[in-house]
Amino acid sequence: MSEDQVMELAGRVALVTGASRGIGKAVALKLAGLGAKVAVNYVAIEANNKVDADNVVESIIRLGKEAMVVEADVRDSEAVRAMVEQVTDKWGKIDILVNNAGINRDTLLLRMSDEAWDDVINTNLRGAYLCTKFALRSMMRQDWGRIINISSVTGLVGNVGQSNYAASKGGLIAFTKSIAREMGSRNITVNAVAPGFIITGMTDKLPAERKEAILAMIPLRRFGQPEDVAELVAFLASERAGYITGQVITIDGGVFA
Ligand code: NAP
């Protein structure tokens, strides 16, 4: 990393959804490492989630950087409004929004419950819609903003047993392109990142033989790490990516090259 990149996000305020673990946690740590103040979002569904989010904030503070925990279920309009207000009350603005919070409820379409469909669409797509809508107000006031949506290769090519997840991630790509067009004149860039197989709690639960079959398809011969995705997100959040908008960047070790 060149010297001028070391603190290239100094003065920026970032909100990362679903930052208590996995990719969101790596993104929060990376953005903070580059100097941004980071709001670490989590949702209070499981008892240990607050501990995880608190640990991320403590790690950032130990680096000598600023961070805060913001609890909100991204599916809930009022909770998202309050979360954005909490961040802007404390730090005055939001420059960078990373819509990362996401879930999967995999099953074949004929066995899919309405609940599994709604849960995934509401978290992955409605959540990004709500966070973007509320965070945009601050970005528009300052004519500067970066929105990075964490989609998936599944949103580009589909996958057996993931029709709900694929629809949410494909929808997120179409949403990204639309908001990029709406916000271009305000100097706000909106891009999507489409990871392949990244080692996190989401992928841990797959059976070993399925993981082996996936690994065999990856030209780089390894699974992705959350930090691989965080590097790309940090670039898109930086000044260096100022002429990139409405794009989907795949990060999958070359599977869909
Ligand atoms: P993960 O380890 O399961 O983490 C998911 C995060 O989302 C957690 O922080 C969780 O918070 C949060 N979350 C879930 N529902 C939420 C809600 N309603 N409101 C707020 N936060 C919520 O997953 P991951 O693998 O890091 O995935 C992160 C993103 O990358 C997701 O959008 C996923 O679809 C995408 N992605 C992952 C992969 C992969 O291979 N891992 C590949 C492509 C795309 P709590 O801790 O509070 O539950």
Q: What is the pLDDT of residues 2-26, one digit of tens each?
A: 555 589 999 999 999 999 999 999 9
49 in ligand 1 pocket by Cβ < 6 Å?
Answer: yes
Average pLDDT over the chain reads: 96
The alpha carbon of 238 and the centre of ligand 1 are apart by a number of angstroms equal to 23
165 belongs to the catalytic site: yes
pTM for this model (two decimals): 0.97
Q: How confident is the model at residue 58 (pLDDT cuts 50, 70, 90)?
A: very high
pLDDT tens profile 123-175: 999 999 999 999 999 999 999 999 999 999 999 999 999 999 999 999 999 99
Sequence-separated (6 or more) residues with CB below 8 Å from residue 213: none
Q: What is the distance between the alpha carbons of residues 31 and 11, in angstroms, rounded to a whole number?
A: 11
Name the class of domain 7-248.
Answer: alpha beta
Residue from 30, 70, 7 nearest 229 by CA: 30
Region label for 180, one of left (φ > 0), alpha (ψ between -120 and 50) or beta (otherwise): alpha
Q: Which two tokens stand for residue 206?
A: 């797959």
Residue from 107, 43, 99 nearest 69 by CA: 43
Q: What is the distance between the alpha carbons of residues 74 and 62, in angstroms, rounded to a whole number?
A: 28
Strand-pairing partners, residue 244, are none
pLDDT tens profile 74-113: 999 999 999 999 999 999 999 999 999 999 999 999 999 9
123 in ligand 1 pocket by Cβ < 6 Å?
Answer: yes
The alpha carbon of 221 and the centre of ligand 1 are apart by a number of angstroms equal to 24
Residue from 164, 166, 171 nearest 120 by CA: 164
Q: What is the distance between the alpha carbons of residues 185 and 139, in angstroms, rounded to a whole number?
A: 12
The best mutation among 15, 16, 43 to test binding of ligand 1, ranked by most ligand atoms within 8 Å of the C-beta, falls on 43
180 in ligand 1 pocket by Cβ < 6 Å?
Answer: no
Q: Whose CA is nearest to atom 2 of ligand 1?
A: 22
126 in ligand 1 pocket by Cβ < 6 Å?
Answer: no
How many Cα atoms within 13 Å fall on the side-chain side of residue 229? 31
The best mutation among 103, 130, 214 to test binding of ligand 1, ranked by most ligand atoms within 8 Å of the C-beta, falls on 103
**Angle ∠(58,47,120) on CA atoms, nearest 5:** 100
The alpha carbon of 94 and the centre of ligand 1 are apart by a number of angstroms equal to 21
Q: What is the distance between the alpha carbons of residues 55 and 114, in angstroms, rounded to a whole number?
A: 35
- Residue whose structure tokens are 């903070």: 32
Q: Which two tokens stand for residue 190?
A: 């909106």
Residue from 249, 49, 222, 58 nearest 152 by CA: 249
101 in ligand 1 pocket by Cβ < 6 Å?
Answer: yes
155 in ligand 1 pocket by Cβ < 6 Å?
Answer: no
Contact at 8 Å (CB) between 236 and 193?
A: yes
